C-alpha cells in the first residue's frame, strides 16, 4: 500500500499555497501596485518640496541683500552677504548667570549667557583673567534696566551695544566685535 510521506505532505501544502495565490492574484497585484504608487508619489512630492523651498530661501537672501544695499550698509552680492554672515571670529562665552531685573510685578530673574565675538581670530589670556570683571559690569548694567527695556529685539540690541561700550575699554589686546546671547530666559 501507499503511505503518505513527508514529501507528499509538502507537495500538498505547496499546491494549496499556489492555488491560494492563483485565486487571490488580483488582490495581491492590486496591493503591490498601490504600494508602488505611494512610493512614487512620496519620492516625487519630496523632490518637489525641496525644489520649491530652495527658491524661497534664495528669494529671501536676495531681498535681504537688496535691503542691506539700499540702506547703504554693504555690497549687493549674495556671495559676499553669505560670507559675511558665516564669517564669525573667535568666540569667548561667559558661564551662565542670573541677574535680577526690575519688572512691573517686582523683580524678575533673567538667566543669561553672553558670548563675545572678538576682532582677532584667537582668544587672548586677558579674557580669562578679566572674566569676573566682565560679569560684574554686565550684572550692574542689566540690573539697572527694566524687563520692558530689554525684552524686545531692539532692547536686546541696545543692551549689546552698551555691554560692548563697557567691556571694550577694559581690553588691551583685543576688542569685542559683536555680542550674542545664546541663553536669555526671564523667569
- Contact present, 135 and 167 (Cβ < 8 Å): no
The string of pLDDT tens digits covering residues 24-43 is: 777 777 888 888 999 999 99
pLDDT score for 75: 46
pLDDT at 186: 85
Exposure string of 72-111, with b = 16+ CB inside 10 Å and e = fewer, is eeeeeeeeebeeeeeeebbebebeeeebebeeeeeebebe
Angle, nearest 10°, between helix axes 6-23 and 25-70? 60
- Is 97 within 8 Å of 139 (Cβ atoms)? yes
Residue with cell 572678538: 118
Domain ranges of the chain: 10-70+76-83, 91-186
Q: Residue 172 phi/psi, 5° resolution? A: -105, -45
Q: Which of 74, 83, 79, 49 is nearest to 62 (CA)?
A: 79
Q: What percent of the chain has pLDDT over 70?
A: 75
Report residue 165's pLDDT band, with 50, 70 and 90 as the boundaries.
Answer: very high
Mind listing the pLDDT tens digit for each residue in 107-149?
888 899 999 888 887 777 888 888 999 999 999 999 898 888 8
* Fold for the domain defined by 91-186: Tetrahydropterin Synthase; Chain A (3.30.479)
Query: Residue 12: pLDDT above 60?
Result: yes
Residue 95 near residue 113, CB atoms below 8 Å: yes
What number of H helices and E strands is found in the chain? Answer: 7, 4
pLDDT for 53 equals 64
pLDDT digits (tens, 9 = 90+) for 67-105: 444 444 444 455 655 555 566 778 888 999 899 888 888
- Residue 162, pLDDT score: 93
Task: Work out the widest C-alpha separation in the chain, in whole angstroms.
Answer: 110
Amino acid at each position: 500500500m501507499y503511505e503518505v510521506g513527508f514529501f507528499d505532505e509538502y507537495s500538498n501544502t505547496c499546491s494549496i499555497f499556489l492555488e491560494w495565490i492563483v485565486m487571490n492574484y488580483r488582490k495581491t497585484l492590486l496591493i503591490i501596485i498601490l504600494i508602488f504608487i505611494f512610493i512614487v508619489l512620496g519620492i516625487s512630492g519630496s523632490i518637489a518640496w525641496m525644489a520649491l523651498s530652495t527658491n524661497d530661501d534664495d528669494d529671501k537672501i536676495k531681498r535681504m541683500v537688496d535691503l542691506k544695499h539700499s540702506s547703504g550698509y554693504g555690497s549687493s552680492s549674495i556671495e559676499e552677504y553669505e560670507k559675511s554672515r558665516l564669517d564669525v571670529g573667535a568666540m569667548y562665552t561667559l558661564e551662565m548667570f542670573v541677574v535680577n531685573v526690575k519688572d512691573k510685578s517686582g523683580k524678575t530673574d533673567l538667566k543669561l549667557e553672553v558670548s563675545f565675538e572678538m576682532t582677532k581670530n584667537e582668544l587672548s589670556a586677558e579674557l580669562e583673567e578679566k572674566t569676573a570683571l566682565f560679569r560684574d559690569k554686565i550684572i550692574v548694567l542689566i540690573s539697572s534696566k527694566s524687563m520692558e527695556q530689554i525684552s524686545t529685539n531692539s532692547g536686546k540690541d541696545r543692551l549689546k551695544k552698551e555691554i560692548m561700550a563697557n567691556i571694550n575699554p577694559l581690553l588691551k589686546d583685543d576688542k569685542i566685535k559683536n555680542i550674542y546671547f545664546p541663553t536669555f530666559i526671564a523667569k
